[in-house]
Structure 1
Amino acid sequence: MKSVLLINTSSEPAARLMQERAGIQLSVITTPSYRRFYADDADVVVVESVEDLTQVRHAALEIRRRNPFAYVVSPSELSLQAGGYIRSYFGLPGAGYEVANAFSNKHVMKQRLAAAGLPVARFQQLSQFTDASEAARTLGWPVVVKPAIGGGSEDVFVLRDEAQVRDLATAELTAQLRESPYPMVAEEFVDIEAEFHCDAVVVGGEVHFAAVSRYFSPVLKSVGELVGSYTLPAGHPDAVAVAEQHAAAVKALGLSDGVTHLEVLKCSRGYLIGEVACRPGGGGIAEQLLHQYGVDIWMEFLATSLDDPVAGVQLEPEDHLIQYMLPRPPGTITHISTAEDLLQVPGVVYADVRATTGDSETGVVHSATFAGLVLVRADSEEQVQQRIAAVGTHYKIDVHTEEG
């Protein structure tokens, strides 16, 4: 029986799998919004925010009186810091705070990568939003501003000039970014030709498994529109280059055991490392990896977190598997295609429509906003584009907004 502390926010797969896992005495620290992920009788301590490390430490001390946990699992972007801190505080195995900080704090991450000689976009830490104008004098306009900690495209802004900085400095649109408990990071704007992600399992500091995929288009340009990616065969030139950068990044940031999600930008200067996290990628990446390679990335994440053996199976397919995240515009859904409809499209091997008629979505759309997932097989990159177009033609969603 292993005693485990799960520190989690939005990761439903981790919450479900940890409760299903045999041989575990589980305790949980989470926030009010995600208490629903756990059974009523589960050992759960709710804190206002897992980003407040003092709150998390007090909760962990309370839990240890009844469950002296020997392992800490921290699967969500916002719980990575807390997981590293608690491991370091109690002297437990796994990624300590220094490593967790390097994989979640974008400023520290880029410092470490640059110090190791790895290519990154030029960057600068900001103390407040209006510092973006000063940063742009060094980095040039436009400049990309984002929170130092956070996932996806949420609270990421491309600022074109000083006038836009002034306008957004008091706007509701940037309130969450400006009021976050983290510093901000400014980066030079890179004219991206292509964007890739590499998802991997690391054991003993070495890459045990790695898969490279290409996004349909750069993610920041795709927000509110079509987001997805397709796998590349291991010998593809882009896959080789991205996998090499991934291996170097893992060593530079000091990860011994875990899973990673790396993003790489291809531009006129070559391949630049965007960001890398020590958790599974979001969207449909887990399903993509399972169907294409037979690798259950969430099970591998738990295995590396709990010092259990990882799976040894690795397929090397030569075709492409597309993960197509079904667009979800804001408003109330009045009609949406069913999974059965989408399974009739040539090449589709999996369809999961999660949104239903009557669902309402308001607020800012970002890269994690989607209505469901479709996986599609293609024999060539040319056919990838044909398959994407076919799904787009068959997928229908109608929404009603206040504007009509």
Structure 2
Amino acid sequence: MKTVVVLGGNQMACPAIERLQQRGFRVVAVDANANAPARGVADQFVHQNFSDVAGTSAALADIAFVGIIPLSDFAIRAAAGIARERNLPGWNEFAELCFTSKVAMKRCWLDNGLPTPRCAFSTVAQLAAGHFPKWDSWPAVVKPSFSGGGSRGVFVARNWDEVQAGVNEVEKTYLDGDVVIEEFVRGTEHTLEVLISRGTPTLLSISDKENYPGSDTVVQRLHFPGSIGHSHRAALERLVFAACAAMRLTDGTTHFEVLISEDGPCLLEVGGRPGGGLNFHPICEISTGYDYPGLLAAVLTGDVPDFARKPSEHLVWHYFPRGEGVLQAIDGFKGIKDEPDVVDAELYEQVGKARLDLRNDLARPGYVLVRSKSAAQARERAARLVESVKFVTADAGDDTP
């Protein structure tokens, strides 16, 4: 039996781990949390912070395995470095740099003439000191070069005062100290999962994203497959395939964020791992018919991926609305997971604590993930389920959607 290592062991990693086991793999899960949910699912568990590349390599030294899969941005360096150490398929050093530095990523795309919003680069220290790059386009999106994903530290500013204040507030999320200041472009936003095998990319899925009302950075709904994105499939495919070539990608998978404006599609950013959470599994398999974990495991173990597809359905991943005040009770959530068309549902807010503030994707209240034979039915059903859950707060009573 072939053994693969999965870097990541939270609750959302468990379905993919189980899918890999169903495909005949022995799975070793690695996580910094000694009580990570994957501990009870994987065939073997290694308690190790995979942000520590040398420590992770040492922790895996006595384990024989044929592939290593990163499930988050924090796992990219370890997965890429250890794959190179063991002569396994994975990312080369240039690709690793592009995936762990938005500055390097943007420069690669710009040097290759690929469409991406105009940008400038700086550092937290330079901005704090009032040393600003040449820039005259407002509003602007301010991003950390590396934060670990989840829209951590991303905000929109209208002038340099707001840039300074915003960076000061979220400085701890700018892990390498580098800052990307990017032109704010309006359009529809989409995610794309692109698998690369021996240098050949394959587009697996396209989603449509909808942000929370009043937010330019935090997503409330995702639609799989995305009807808007698929209407531009040929252009999007050309764009992301060109980006893969520019970053010299050989073996692995990518999660692209793209925007379609009136001028056409452009690249926003990319991660060198599957889309977060349930994107890896089961979302991709339900919405496209592709066995995403099986495909990626095949690529990263040197095998040939089988792109056979099963019948697919539509999915809507709908997060609950935000609210104010201290949460006193949550009514109507119990039993939602048992509904036949509900793939999953979770609540992250806790009674007795303040409502989450949507500062990034990690501060959302919770979600329902609904499947249906039609996009309209999935959207309507997800909306009804979200509306059926009431968040009772100390200040305003029922905080309904």
Q: Who is 1:13 aligned against?
A: 14
Q: 1:254 aligns with which of 232, 248, 255?
A: 248
Q: Who is 1:144 aligned against?
A: 141
Q: Who is 1:46 aligned against?
A: 48
CA contact (8 A) 1:288 1:322 kept: no
| In 1: Cα distance, 2:165 partner to 2:307 partner | 53
Deviation at 1:355, TM superposition (A): 2.0
Change in Cα spacing, 1:322 to 1:151, as seen in structure 2 (3 Å) is same
Q: Who is 2:283 aligned against?
A: 288
CA RMSD, 1 decimal: 3.9
CA contact (8 A) 1:333 1:357 kept: no
CA contact (8 A) 1:114 1:120 kept: yes
CA contact (8 A) 1:229 1:323 kept: yes
- SS class of match (2:254): strand
| In 1: Cα distance, 2:104 partner to 2:47 partner | 30
CA contact (8 A) 2:370 2:382 kept: no
CA contact (8 A) 2:341 2:370 kept: yes
Matches within 5 A, 1:198-347: 198-217=192-211, 221=215, 226-232=220-226, 236-285=230-279, 286-314=281-309, 321-327=315-321, 329=323, 331-332=326-327, 334-338=329-333, 340=335
CA contact (8 A) 2:315 2:375 kept: no
Deviation at 1:266, TM superposition (A): 1.8
| In 1: Cα distance, 2:123 partner to 2:267 partner | 24
Report percent identity of matched pairs. Answer: 21
CA contact (8 A) 2:67 2:88 kept: yes
Q: 1:84 aligns with which of 55, 80, 84?
A: 80
Q: Who is 1:160 aligned against?
A: 158
| 1:29-70 Cα distance to aligned partner (Å, 9 max, x none) | 5324665532599452424xx334xxx224423532x22545
| In 2: Cα distance, 1:24 partner to 1:385 partner | 35
Q: Does 1:60 align with 2:54?
A: no
Deviation at 1:78, TM superposition (A): 0.7
Change in Cα spacing, 1:235 to 1:111, as seen in structure 2 (3 Å) is closer
| In 2: Cα distance, 1:367 partner to 1:126 partner | 24
Q: Who is 1:186 aligned against?
A: 180
- SS class of match (2:305): coil
Unaligned 5+ runs, structure 2 = none
Matches within 5 A, 1:108-123: 108-123=104-119
Q: Give the letter aligned to residue 393 of structure 2.
A: H
| 1:201-254 Cα distance to aligned partner (Å, 9 max, x none) | 332222334222211248993656733234246994322222221221222212
| In 2: Cα distance, 1:24 partner to 1:129 partner | 47
| In 2: Cα distance, 1:211 partner to 1:15 partner | 17
| 1:114-135 Cα distance to aligned partner (Å, 9 max, x none) | 2222101122332215528655
- SS class of match (1:57): helix
Please report the TM-score for the alignment, with normalisation by the length of structure 1. 0.78
Deviation at 1:398, TM superposition (A): 0.3
| In 2: Cα distance, 1:268 partner to 1:399 partner | 42
| In 1: Cα distance, 2:221 partner to 2:317 partner | 9
Change in Cα spacing, 1:30 to 1:125, as seen in structure 2 (3 Å) is farther
Deviation at 1:273, TM superposition (A): 0.3
Change in Cα spacing, 1:60 to 1:169, as seen in structure 2 (3 Å) is closer
Q: Who is 2:391 aligned against?
A: 398
Q: Give the letter aligned to residue 48 of structure 2.
A: V
Q: 1:371 aligns with which of 363, 366, 382?
A: 366
| 1:331-356 Cα distance to aligned partner (Å, 9 max, x none) | 54612433755888xxx832422228
| 1:268-315 Cα distance to aligned partner (Å, 9 max, x none) | 432110112222112553433222222232332333222344332236
CA contact (8 A) 1:9 1:76 kept: no
| In 1: Cα distance, 2:260 partner to 2:327 partner | 37
| In 1: Cα distance, 2:186 partner to 2:26 partner | 47
Change in Cα spacing, 1:281 to 1:214, as seen in structure 2 (3 Å) is same
- SS class of match (2:76): helix
Q: 1:354 aligns with which of 336, 346, 357?
A: 346
| In 1: Cα distance, 2:78 partner to 2:270 partner | 17
| In 2: Cα distance, 1:28 partner to 1:209 partner | 27
| 1:331-388 Cα distance to aligned partner (Å, 9 max, x none) | 54612433755888xxx8324222289556666532243413222447567x777566
| In 2: Cα distance, 1:195 partner to 1:389 partner | 20
How many pairs were matched up?
388
Q: Give the letter aligned to residue 143 of structure 1.
A: A
Unaligned 5+ runs, structure 1 = none
Deviation at 1:165, TM superposition (A): 3.4
